[in-house]
Amino acid sequence: MQKNFSVAVILAIIVALGALTYFAYHPILKNLNLGLDLRGGLHVVLEAQEKEGQKISADTINKAVGILRNRVDKLGVSEPLIYPQGERRVVVELAGIDDPEEAVNIIKNTAQLEFWDESGKVLVTGKHLKEAQARASGEGQGFEVAIDFDREGAKLFADATTANVNKPLMIVIDGKVISAPTVSGPITDGSARITGNFTAKEAENLAVLLRSGALPVSFKILEKRTVGPTLGSDSLSKSVKAGIAGLIAILIFMLGYYRLPGFIADISIVLYSILVLGTMTLFGAVLTLPGIAAFVLSIGMAVDANIIIYERIKEELRWGKTLKAAIEAGFNRAFWTIFDANLTTLIAAFVLLYFGSGPIKGFAVTLSIGIIASMLVVLTFTRYLLVLSADLSKNHKLYGV
Amino acid sequence: MQFIQNRKYSFIFSTILIILGLISIFVQGFKLGIDFEGGSLLRFKMDAAVSSAEVRSTIEEFKFIDQASIQKSGNEFLIRTRELNQEQTEQINKAFAAKFKNVEYLSAESVGATMGSELTRNAVLSVLIAMLLMLVYISFRFEWTFGVAAVVALFHNVLIVLGIFSIFQWELDGAFIAAILTIVGYSINDTIVIFDRIRENLRLKTRDDLTTLLNKSIMQTMNRSVNTVLTVLFPLVTLYLFGGSTIKIFVLTMLIGFVVGAYSSIFIASPLYYDIKQRA
């Protein structure tokens, strides 16, 4: 009776887990945030450059983050990560874009638009901009950007053009003169165009920059990594296959060496993998190359926990205990071993999570999730299955003794 | 097995490894990647018929290139230069596209020198803090002698891996730090399980002397030690053999580190505990 019940429960768990794997596989694979080292994209660290008489505050940086987000949104990137780091840095991470080099151009420019008179005096700035659109140039060659000023800007621009009839008015972006058309007459309707022999793309990018507004401070690129889609996806698909092959090798080894409990370990490891990757997907954590290392380590630790328990059970069986008693005792004695070993590593993971940056952080996130999931699975799920399995057969050979 | 009685041999073996590594570190240092030193690294795929020399002559036409190293493997080209800015990278992109066939840009990385020193500082600092906290935890849960032995064994593992990287002049990049962290994590986990058994046997208050007790504890956990390192090596070996080319060195670091970690848990950490305990 008891045996039939246990068999039924174990079968039900296997079917449920099979279904879970089947249904979770694609959503996880689709929604898991892969770092740019794995699927291509862009990682830029910018540092604000203090100019004389300008103080960089948290507010300045937050403003810059907002403007950068605006710009990036217009690139159509699905999940941009833009966040301040320290007191004067901003990190921009865009994964899965086709032309990361192009995106750098959108990000790095301050996009401070100014109109100068001949003497270099600033007459109007981009602060008063309402709209900017790229369009084909009226002269039939190249592209230009049409801009509209707000009310105040329109007035300033009207004054500027009135004062400079038949003189050049310089269009300056980030301190660089783009073009210097001669003013033919006062422009009072608040519209202007920025000419400069742009290509369609250049004009479109400039329009995006002007629309999103200028950064409150200029930034210098401290670190830039762009990975084209080919390298990312190529190394990813190979590594995923290799990783799965390694995982299968572990499953086979456990089954061959530990027999029945090995089979239970295998079920646990499958559940464990889904749990870790699922949690990462839910939290929107980013899986990077260092993250994969942490995943390998945490799988190793999960398997280790199983091994510790089974070796204990084997010892207890050799001492002559009954199967049920051996499982009970083996588990209880293994508990603190697993607890201490995992907690010591978890302490390290938390320290790295707190102090680390870049590759260190990616590692720590996955490792922390991995260790917690491993303890949960092994100490509850595996334990329950093992106790059930004791009803299946009293044959100690199934436990490798 | 007489692990404790024969500890002289493992200590000598480890000391030789570490000294060789240290000599190499002082004499030839490390081959630092751009993550540590700053610089730019460009990766291209091009017609395999293109030679490194052609690539070199193309980029050396630019005045801003004073020194470049070019590596070719199959149809992939790896170009390392001093730090380039965005315009300069684009100029190189364009020059290649104009001159060679089937040019495909794979990746471009630029790192400022300040970032490199920060990364190193961050990594070293966080590993040291992590070690300190682990020492505190182990001292609290076990005894300070265990904590010291475990942390010294960790240093030993990290030193050996660093030494190997210097001897073979493999390049240190950002992923190397992650690999070292993984090794630290694995080693401590591996060691604690053996220490846990020693602690348990100590509590049993048998008549065994410390030497016998330690040997017994190591033997009792031997199956587990071997099986655990075997299982973690499976995915690493498959990743090394079949994984993407960009992660080869990274995986190799972990492979070496895990083997060293498993070795040191048995042959270094427990004997060290013995020596410290004898003197304490």
Report whether pLDDT(B170) > 70.
Answer: yes
Which residue has better confidence, B272 or B179?
A: B272
Q: Read off the pLDDT band of A401 (50, 70, 90).
A: low
Q: How far is it, in rounded angstroms, from Cα B267 to Cα A202?
A: 64
- A82-103 b/e with 16+ CB inside 10 Å = b? bebeeebbbbbbbbbbeebbeb
Rounded to 5°, angle at Cα A268 from B255 and A328:
110
Q: In what order do the strands lie in the sheet with B76-81?
A: A81-85, A89-95, A41-48, A219-227, B104-111, B39-45, B76-81, B69-73
Q: Read off the pLDDT band of A123 (50, 70, 90).
A: confident
Chain A residue with Cα closest to B41:
A225
Q: Which residues contact B194 (CB under 8 A, 6 or more apart)?
A: B217, B218, B221, B225, B265, B266, B269, B270
Q: How far is it, in rounded angstroms, from Cα B184 to Cα A326?
A: 33
Q: Residues of chain A with pLDDT > 70: what percent?
A: 96
Q: Which tokens go with A354?
A: 């707190």
Computed on alpha carbons and rounded to an integer, the radius of gyration of chain A in Å comes to 31
Q: Which tokens go with B279?
A: 């003197």
Q: Are B182 and A296 a contacting pair at CB < 8 A? A: yes
DSSP-assigned states of every residue in A26-94:
HHHHHH-EE-HHHH-EEEEEEEE-PPTT----HHHHHHHHHHHHHHHHHHT-SS-EEEEETTTEEEEEE
Q: What integer pLDDT is reported at residue A232 of this predicted model?
A: 60
Would you say A374 and A342 are in contact if contact means Cβ atoms under 8 Å apart? yes
Rounded to 5°, angle at Cα A206 from A179 and A54:
85
Q: Read off the pLDDT band of B67 (50, 70, 90).
A: confident
Please list the residues that pair with B73 across neighbouring strands.
B76
- The three-state (H, E, C) secondary structure of B7-73, written as one string: HHHHHHHHHHHHHHHHHHHHHCCCEECHHHHCEEEEEEECCCCCCHHHHHHHHHCCCCCCCCEEEEE
- Which one of A62-71, A125-134, B221-230 scores highest in mean pLDDT? B221-230
Least Cα separation, residue B245 to chain A (angstroms) = 7
Q: What integer pLDDT is reported at residue B273 of this predicted model?
A: 96
Of A231, A347, A349, nearest to B43 by CB-CB distance is A231
Q: What integer pLDDT is reported at residue B45 of this predicted model?
A: 85
Least confident interval from A229-243, B37-51, B162-176: A229-243
DSSP classification of residue A398: G
- Which one of A105-109, B31-35, B140-144 scores highest in mean pLDDT? B140-144
B-chain CB neighbours of A367 within 8 Å are 185
Residue that is written with structure tokens 């058309």 in the block: A181
Cβ–Cβ contacts within 10 Å for residue A53, how many?
5
Q: What integer pLDDT is reported at residue B155 of this predicted model?
A: 93
pLDDT (average), residues A323-343:
90
CA torsion angle A253 A259 A261 A264 (round to 10): 70
DSSP-assigned states of every residue in A206-270:
HHHHHHH---SS-EEEEEEEEE-HHHHHHHHHHHHHHHHHHHHHHHHHHHHHHHHHHHHHHHHHH
Q: Are A101 and B108 a contacting pair at CB < 8 A? A: yes
A-chain CB neighbours of B244 within 8 Å are 234-236, 238-239
Least Cα separation, residue A340 to chain B (angstroms) = 7
Q: Are A249 and B234 a contacting pair at CB < 8 A? A: yes
What's chain B's average pLDDT? 89
Q: How far is it, in rounded angstroms, from Cα A71 to Cα B228?
A: 49
Q: How far is it, in rounded angstroms, from Cα A84 to Cα A66?
A: 11
pLDDT (average), residues B211-222:
94
Q: What integer pLDDT is reported at residue A377 of this predicted model?
A: 92
Q: What integer pLDDT is reported at residue A229 of this predicted model?
A: 67
Rounded to 5°, angle at Cα A164 from A159 and A168:
130
Q: Are B243 and A239 a contacting pair at CB < 8 A? A: yes
Q: How far is it, in rounded angstroms, from Cα A225 to Cα A289?
A: 14
Q: How far is it, in rounded angstroms, from Cα A3 to Cα A388?
A: 9
Report whether pLDDT(A279) > 80.
Answer: yes
B-chain CB neighbours of A360 within 8 Å are 122-123, 126, 177-178, 181
Q: What integer pLDDT is reported at residue B52 of this predicted model?
A: 85
Q: Are B111 and A358 a contacting pair at CB < 8 A? A: no
Q: How far is it, in rounded angstroms, from Cα B231 to Cα A63?
A: 50
CA distances from A100 to B40, B232, B276 (A): 16, 36, 55
Report whether pLDDT(A334) > 80.
Answer: yes
Of B181, B230, B244, nearest to A235 by CB-CB distance is B244
Would you say B215 and B266 are in contact if contact means Cβ atoms under 8 Å apart? no
| Helices B248-264, B174-203: crossing angle, 10 deg rounding | 20
Q: What integer pLDDT is reported at residue B104 of this predicted model?
A: 83
The amino acid occupying position A391 is D
B-chain CB neighbours of A303 within 8 Å are 228, 231-232
A-chain CB neighbours of B115 within 8 Å are 45, 222-223
Q: How far is it, in rounded angstroms, from Cα B249 to Cα B179?
A: 10
Residue that is written with structure tokens 């019940």 in the block: A5
Q: Are A355 and B223 a contacting pair at CB < 8 A? A: no
Q: Which residues contact B123 (CB under 8 A, 6 or more apart)?
A: A356, A360, B177, B180, B181
For residue B108, give the nearest of B83, B134, B132 by alpha carbon: B83
Q: Read off the pLDDT band of A308 (50, 70, 90).
A: very high
* A41 φ, ψ (degrees, to nearest 5): 145, -155
Of A241, A297, A357, nearest to B122 by CB-CB distance is A357
Q: What integer pLDDT is reported at residue A231 of this predicted model?
A: 62
Q: How far is it, in rounded angstroms, from Cα B157 to Cα B268?
A: 10
**Residue A384: its H or E element:** helix A383-389
Could you give the ipTM of this predicted complex? 0.84
Report whether pLDDT(A398) > 80.
Answer: no
Least confident interval from A230-244, B154-168, B243-257: A230-244
Q: Are A359 and B177 a contacting pair at CB < 8 A? A: yes
Would you say B43 and B78 are in contact if contact means Cβ atoms under 8 Å apart? yes
Cβ–Cβ contacts within 10 Å for residue A132, how many?
20
CA distances from A129 to A61, A74, A186, A208, B184 (A): 22, 17, 18, 12, 55
Per residue in A65-78, pLDDT tens?
A: 888 888 888 777 76
Q: Read off the pLDDT band of B168 (50, 70, 90).
A: very high
Q: What integer pLDDT is reported at residue A81 of this predicted model?
A: 83
Per residue in A78-89, pLDDT tens?
A: 678 888 888 889
B-chain CB neighbours of A352 within 8 Å are 126-127, 130, 181
